Amino acid sequence: MKNQELTVKREGAFSYPICLRENFNDLATKAEETGFLGRKACVVSDSRVFELYGEEICEKLRQVCSKVTSFVFPAGEEHKNLDTIEDLYEHLIQESFDRKDFLVALGGGVTGDMAGYAAATYLRGIDFIQVPTTLLAQVDSSIGGKTGVDFRCYKNMVGAFHQPRLVYMNLSVLRSLPDVEFACGMGEVIKSALICDRKFYDWLSENADSIERKELDILEEMVYRCCDIKRGIVERDPTEKGERALLNLGHTIGHAIEKQMNFQLHHGQCVGLGLLAAAGISRRRGLLTPQEEAEIIRCCQSFHLPVKVKGLQPRDVLAASKKDKKMEHGKIKFILMKGLGHTLIDKTVTDQELLDGIADVLDAEK
Ligand SMILES: NC(=O)c1ccc[n+]([C@@H]2O[C@H](COP(=O)([O-])OP(=O)(O)OC[C@H]3O[C@@H](n4cnc5c(N)ncnc54)[C@H](O)[C@@H]3O)[C@@H](O)[C@H]2O)c1
Ligand SMILES: [Zn+2]
């Protein structure tokens, strides 16, 4: 591995590094460079990830921190809510965390979103670092500062923008990730390529076997390219006034399916389905050829993402997608594809077009 690094630059505010590594060896050094020497750290993690990597991380941080505590919650999206956040606040108060202390999000997107939200709000904001351990979190959720929790049945309904001070990813942890979670991350990887990088999209197909074998050099290249795409977009549009909406490719319908399935399908799987629905809509508008649409379906299949979902009604999915946050003056901001590797924001997509796109990914047989 080349141990590559990128920096997310922010106007008038601190910039932060993204470090790609094959172990956790220089985490303490990086934390020290970030200014955390002598501060207290709380490692926030789910039960599964903490068991695998928690002790090692705490040990590393003890080299530079005055105290290291941990807050562990049960794994799963159903725990990404305000109840867990309350327990975390309670822990921080018990441990006398003050404004100078910081949180470490060790885990996937659920952990990152929650630890980030707690950091954004505890004492009106404390620092946090991201140590993403799922592919999805490494290529997407740990960068860009969107934090939050689900509220009742509404996805990410409560949240805040709060940037991490450091993103440190050890790619070798992807080897312990269950296959289905790896596939979910590939949903976001394919999304990144389709947004703006045709060459990267082709590279994914050419390197599918090495990706599948989780060869570290190839994973580093893949994760680096995704991080770089996201870095560019969030630097230009940190609070989603414009271009950042492109990152929602596949998410309007994807989130609706996720919700309608009662979270039985994973986020990344739903994003894959959402990409295919968006591809269908784009093809009907003449923006994508049938061959290009078929190519995207093939790509999702090759990375073990579902391409159909059973047991849903198009109208229910449509209604759910209209409750999504990505609305402006009552119109859905929909992301369409224009060929492979180009996207555009469109506010004219009709209900009928959405229904047809949704129908593309629903298995008629219940
Ligand atoms: N903030 C953002 O910009 C953003 C972007 C995309 C997604 N998200 C959010 O991210 C969440 C999904 O994240 P996720 O897919 O990482 O889910 P997750 O955090 O629940 O992790 C998935 C599962 O993998 C396990 N796991 C994590 N790392 C592991 C490892 N290295 N080895 C073995 N098991 C491991 C976890 O314990 C969990 O059971 C959703 O809530 C979504 O809304 C946020
Ligand atoms: Zn996503």
For the stretch 83-99, pLDDT in tens is: 999 999 999 999 999 99
In this structure, the strands spanning 5-8 and 154-161 are: unpaired
Burial of 246 (0-12, 13-18, 19+ CB in 10 A): buried
CB 71 within 8 A of CB 87: yes
Could you give the C-alpha distances from 288 to 229, 340, 357, in angstroms and in order? 22, 8, 13
Which amino acids bring their CB within 6 angstroms of ligand 1? 46, 48-49, 52, 75, 77, 80, 107-111, 113, 133-134, 136-137, 140-141, 144, 146, 156, 173, 176-177, 181, 184, 267-268
Give the closest residue (by CA) to ligand 1 atom 5.
Answer: 141
**Confidence (pLDDT) at 224:** 98
* Cα distances (angstroms) measured from residue 187 to each of 17, 29, 194: 24, 33, 11
* Dist CA 189 CA 183 (whole Å): 10
Q: Which atom of ligand 1 is nearest to the CA of 147?
A: 1
Instruction: Kindly give, in sequence order, each residue whose CB lies less than 8 Å from that of residue 254, ignoring residues fewer than 6 positions away.
Output: 267, 270, 271, 272, 273, 274, 275, 277
pLDDT at 325: 66
Phi, psi of 149 (to 5 degrees): -135, 165
Residue 85, classed as helix, strand or coil, is helix
180-230 confidence digits (pLDDT tens): 999 999 999 999 999 999 999 999 999 999 999 999 999 999 999 999 999
Out of 51, 111, 141, 175, give the residue to mutate to test ligand 1, the one with the largest number of ligand atoms within 8 Å of its CB: 141
d(CA 198, CA 340): 6
Indicate the top mutation candidate among 43, 84, 113, 275 to test ligand 1's pocket, ranked by most ligand atoms within 8 A of CB.
113
State the closest ligand 1 atom to the C-alpha of 176, by its place in the atom list counted from 1: 32
State the pLDDT at residue 268: 95
pLDDT in tens, 98-111: 999 999 999 999 99
**Residues making up the chain, counted from first to last:** 366
Q: Residue 277: what pLDDT?
A: 98
Structure confidence at residue 261 (pLDDT): 92
The confidence score (pLDDT) of residue 327 equals 72
Under DSSP, is residue 354 helix (H, G, I), strand (E, B) or coil? helix
Best of 133, 142, 168 for a ligand 1 pocket test (most atoms within 8 Å of beta carbon): 133
Q: How far is the CA of 112 from the centre of ligand 1 (A)?
A: 8
Nearest CA to ligand 1 atom 19: 108
* Ligand of minimum distance to the alpha carbon of 250: 2
Residue numbers of the chain with a pLDDT score lower than 50 = 366
* Ligand 2 center to 188 CA (angstroms): 6
Atom of ligand 1 nearest to the CA of 49: 37
pLDDT value of residue 323: 82
| Nearest by Cα to 276 from 250, 258, 252, 303 | 250
The separation between CA 104 and the C-alpha centre of its own chain, rounded to angstroms, equals 17
Nearest one of 234, 256, 73, 267 to 162, comparing CA atoms: 234
- 228: closest CA among 1, 18, 14, 22? 18
What are the residues facing 73 on neighbouring strands?
A: 46
CA angle 348, 354, 360 (to 5 degrees): 145
Place of tokens 């207290």: 40
pTM: 0.97
pLDDT of residue 9: 96
Nearest bound ligand to the CA of residue 139: 1
User: Beta strand pairing status for 309-310 and 362-363?
Assistant: parallel
What is the atom index within ligand 1 of the atom nearest the CA of 111?
19
